[in-house]
Each structure stands twice: as C-alpha cells, then as structure tokens.
C-alpha cells in the first residue's frame, strides 16, 4: 500500500467513525439538532488528540491530551453546543483551548469568539460577553468570570457536585449566575475551579 492509499484509508475510517458517533452516541442520547450534527460531522475530531491516540478520538469517553487535560467525550460537546444555542449575535467566551475541538465547533455559530485558559479565567476583568462556555466541569464559578458576563448572558459548563459531574447552565440576573444542573454525564473536571478546602475536625 502506498502512503497516499494509507492516508486515504485512514480518512475513510475516520469519516465512518464520525458517522457512527452521530448515530450511536449523539442521536441515541437526544442530541438531534441538525446544525449540531452537521458541525460534528464536519470537524475531524482526530486532529485534536495526540497522534498516538487518533484511533480513540471517537470513543464515548474522554481522551487524555497530556498536562492533566482531556478531550471530553463527543456527547459532552454535542450537549454543550445544543444547550448554548449560539447565534451570530453572540459575543462568546470559551474557557479552554481557543484552537481546540470545542472552539472549532463553536466559532462558526457566534459573532465573535474569544478564549481564555482555565488557569487565567479567575483573574479576568469585566466584560460584556453574552455567552460563556466552559470546556470542563467546575465546582465553583469565580466572581471574576461571572463579571465578564453581560446581564442576561448565558453560561454553559460542567458542574461537579459531590463527586458527580453534570451538564449545567445559567443566566445572569441581578448581577449573579445560578447554575442549574441538567443531565448527569462524565465531564473532565478543571482543578482551577475546585471549591476552597474546608477545615474538618
């Protein structure tokens, strides 16, 4: 087999994996919005994982990226996109990799997309974002990050409660955001958003 034939075979394999992802992971779990499915069919997820893990890019669990980070399972991104309901009127902020998989999925649907690394998000200043998407699960939403959200703006994130991760969403009202858990699903936790440790005796 020539190198060109080998690359073509791999491309065909990944295209089939994307189709299977949509039919057996997304649709069966209630993610059926055509725009979400089309986006996830279009973006080659295998390009966002280490080379040696490309064959695992479409499994229904998180894929380790190194340095303590993971690419969440496809269903997580599908559910986040669906819940975010992005529009071209949105000025969006992604807490995560601005060149990563979720950013690539989200960017075409919003008017603008900025990104901030998790370790820098809590130190952010004021902003006027209408949508904040956090690529991971948090225990607490820092006040500094909440301040970057415009009144009436939305947050979509993972939420850690008593060791269980759930998809969650909230809207800023009267200067505050209350996150509502929506669905229990495995989402990689972000240690930068862990709750402060409490003393116990």
How do the domains of the chain map onto residue ranges? 3-193
What pLDDT band is residue 112 in, cutting at 50, 70 and 90?
Answer: very high
Tokens linked to 97: 């990799």
Q: What is the pLDDT of residue 4?
A: 39
Lowest-pLDDT choice from 2-6, 122-126, 177-181: 2-6
State the Cα angle at 123 between 72 and 176, rounded to 5°. Answer: 80
Q: Give Cβ neighbours of residue 83 (< 8 Å, ≥ 6 apart).
A: 156, 167, 169, 182
pLDDT digits (tens, 9 = 90+) for 146-194: 999 999 999 999 999 988 999 999 999 999 999 999 999 999 999 988 8
For residue 26, the number of C-alpha atoms closer than 13 Å in the C-beta half-sphere is 27
Q: Read out DSSP for 110-161? A: SSEEEEE-HHHHTT-----EEEEEEEEEES---HHHHTTEEEEEEEEEEEEE
Name the residue with higher pLDDT: 137 or 66.
137
Tokens linked to 152: 């009436």
- pLDDT over threshold 90, residue 26: yes
Residue 78: Cβ-neighbour burial (10 angstroms; 0-12, 13-18, 19+): buried
Whole-angstrom distance, CA of residue 90 vs CA of residue 86: 7
In this prediction, residues 109-137 reach a mean pLDDT of 87
Whole-angstrom distance, CA of residue 20 vs CA of residue 194: 35
In this prediction, residues 80-100 reach a mean pLDDT of 96
Q: What is the pLDDT of residue 126?
A: 62
Q: Please, what CATH class does the domain formed by 3-193 belong to? A: alpha beta
Q: What is the pLDDT of residue 12?
A: 77
In this prediction, residues 82-100 reach a mean pLDDT of 96
Candidates 181, 173, 98, 165; CA nearest to 133 is: 98
Do 119 and 134 contact (CB within 8 A), yes or no? no
Q: What percent of the chain has pLDDT over 90?
A: 77
Buried b / exposed e along 153-192 (16+ C-beta atoms within 10 A):
bbbbbbbbeeeebbbbbbebeeeebebeeeeebbbbbbee
Lowest-pLDDT choice from 65-69, 81-85, 130-134: 65-69
Average pLDDT, whole number, for the chain? Answer: 89
pLDDT digits (tens, 9 = 90+) for 53-63: 999 999 999 99
């Amino acid at each position: 087999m020539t190198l060109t034939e080998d690359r073509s075979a791999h491309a065909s394999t990944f295209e089939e994996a994307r189709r299977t992802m949509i039919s057996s992971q997304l649709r069966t779990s209630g993610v059926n919005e055509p725009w979400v499915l089309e986006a996830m069919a279009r973006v080659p997820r295998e390009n966002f994982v280490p080379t040696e893990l490309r064959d695992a890019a479409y499994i229904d669990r998180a894929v380790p990226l190194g340095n303590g980070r993971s690419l969440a399972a496809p269903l997580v991104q599908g559910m986040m996109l669906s819940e975010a309901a992005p529009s071209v009127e949105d000025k969006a902020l992604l807490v995560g990799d601005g060149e990563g998989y979720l950013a690539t999925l989200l960017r075409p649907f919003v008017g603008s997309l900025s990104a901030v690394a998790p370790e820098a998000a809590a130190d952010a200043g004021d902003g006027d974002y209408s949508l904040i998407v956090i690529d991971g699960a948090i225990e607490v939403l820092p006040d500094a990050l909440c301040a970057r959200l415009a009144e009436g703006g939305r947050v979509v994130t993972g939420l850690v409660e008593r060791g269980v991760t759930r998809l969650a969403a909230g809207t800023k009202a009267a200067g505050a955001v209350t996150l509502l858990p929506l669905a229990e699903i495995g989402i990689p936790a972000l240690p930068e958003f862990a709750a402060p440790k409490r003393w116990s005796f």
